Structure 1
Amino acid sequence: MTGTARPITIVGTPVLHRPCRPVEEFDDALAALVDDMFASMYAAEGVGLAANQIGVDLRVFVYDCPDEDGVHQKGVVVNPTLELPEHRHLDHGDEGCLSVPGPHAPVARPDRAAVTGFDVKGSPITVEGTGLLARCLQHETDHLNGKLYIDRLSARARKKVLKEMEEMRAEA
C-alpha cells in the first residue's frame, strides 16, 4: 500500500466544522492525498474517511466497506453531490466516527444513497450504495459539508456521546 497514515482530526478542530473547498486540480498532489487518505483510514480501522478528517480542506472522500449484500465496495469520490431516494426507508443503525473516537449512537439515515462526482483523474462517476455503504456515502458527504454525525443527534444524545468520548480518551 502506498501513502502515509496521517493523524485523524478530532471533533472541535475547526476544519471539521465548516464546508470544504471544491477540488479544482486533478493532479499528482490529489493522487498523493488520496493515497494518504486510504493509508490513514486503514491505520485507524475505518470504513470511510473525508479529507478534512486529516486536516485537508478539500471535497474528497475515500471508502472501503460492504453494501447490504456484503459485497465490498472501495473507491474515492471528489466533489461529491449526495442524492437520496424520493421514497425513503430509514435505517436506525448505530454510527461512529474516527473524528469522534470511541462511542457510537443510533442515527436514522435512508437505507439507499448515491453520490455523483469525479474519480481521482477527473472522470465523472456515480456511486450507489445500500446498507453500510449508503450510510458511509451520507456520513462522508456530511463531513465535507462541515457536519459530523453527532450534529444529527438530539442535544442530550450529543452531550452523552462527547462525554463518553472524553472518558474513553482519559482512560487510554
Structure 2
Amino acid sequence: MTILPILVIPDPRLKMVSEPVEAITDDIRKLVTDMYETMYDAPGIGLAAIQVGVAKRLLVVDVGSREEGQQPLTVINPEIIWESDDEFRIHQEGCLSIPEYFEEVERPACIRMRYMDLDGNTQEIDADGLLATCLQHEIDHLNGVLFIDHLSKLKRDRVNRKFAKAAKAGV
C-alpha cells in the first residue's frame, strides 16, 4: 500500500475528463488499494483517481461513521441514471484538492447510480444524504468539475487566485 500525492488546484489535470476503465486489472486493484490508503490518511471521505493523477473513471468513497465503522465503496465507470429534480440538499463541501476550504453547495438530494464494482459486476445504488453528495462530488471530478465550479464567479475566482498565488510561491 502506498499513500499517493494528491493534486491541488491550480494543477490543470484536475480539469481533465477521465477515460473509462476498460478492464479490472492488477494495476487497477493496486490503484484502488492505494487510493483508500491515501483517502483515509488525508483524511477524507471520497477520492477520484484524477486527484492522484490517474485519468480513469474510478473513485472510492467511505461515509461510514465511527459508530458504523468503515463502509468503503469502490465505483468504476459511474453513471448517474436518475436524480431528484424537486428535492435538493445543501451541504458544506470540502475537497482534498482544495485543502482547508469549505463552502455550501446545493445538489440533488437523491440519486440512482449505475457503476461497475471491483469484480467487474454492474451494480446500481440509490443514495441520499451524505453519500449522494459525496458521489456527485467525486463524479464531478471525473468530468473535470470541482465543487468550487458550483459557486458564484466571485467566490470561485477568489479561491483560484489564492491557490494560484500559493502555487507560484511554492507553498
CA distance in 2, matches of 1:81, 1:53: 19
TM-score, scaled to structure 2 = 0.87
Give the count of matched residue pairs.
Answer: 167
Distance change in 2, residues 1:146/1:134 (3 Å): same
- Aligned equivalents of 1:88 and 1:5: distance in 2? 40
1:11 to 9, 12, 21: 9
Aligned pair in 2 of structure 1 residues 6, 111: CA closer, same or farther (>3 Å)?
Answer: same
Q: Which residue of 2 aligns with 1:33?
A: 31
1:111 matched residue in structure 2: 109
Q: Distance in 2 between matches of 1:168 and 1:84?
A: 39
CA shift for structure 1 position 128: 2.1
Tell me how far 1:72 sits from its aligned partner: 6.1
> Unpaired runs of 5+ in structure 2?
none
Q: 5 Å matches for 1:22-101?
A: 22-66=20-64, 73-101=71-99
Superposed CA RMSD? 2.3
- TM-score between the two structures when normalised by the length of structure 1: 0.87
Asked if the contact 2:49–2:58 (Cα under 8 Å) also holds between the matched residues in 1, the reply is: yes
Alpha-carbon shift at residue 152 of structure 1 (Å): 1.0
Q: Equivalent of 1:156, from 131, 136, 154?
A: 154
Distance 1:25 1:35 in 2: 16
Q: CA deviation digits over 1:126-161, x for unaligned, max 9?
A: 222111111001000000011100111111111233
Give 1:125 deviation, angstroms.
1.2
Identity of aligned residues (%): 38
Q: Does 1:124 align with 2:87?
A: no
Kept after mapping to 2: 8 A contact 1:104/1:161: no
The structural deviation recorded for 1:71 is 8.6
8 Å contact from structure 1 (residues 66, 132) kept in 2:
no
Query: Alpha-carbon deviation of 1:87?
Result: 3.8
Q: Which runs of 5+ in 1 are unaligned?
A: none
Task: Compare 160-169 and 20-29 and name the one that shifted more.
Answer: 160-169
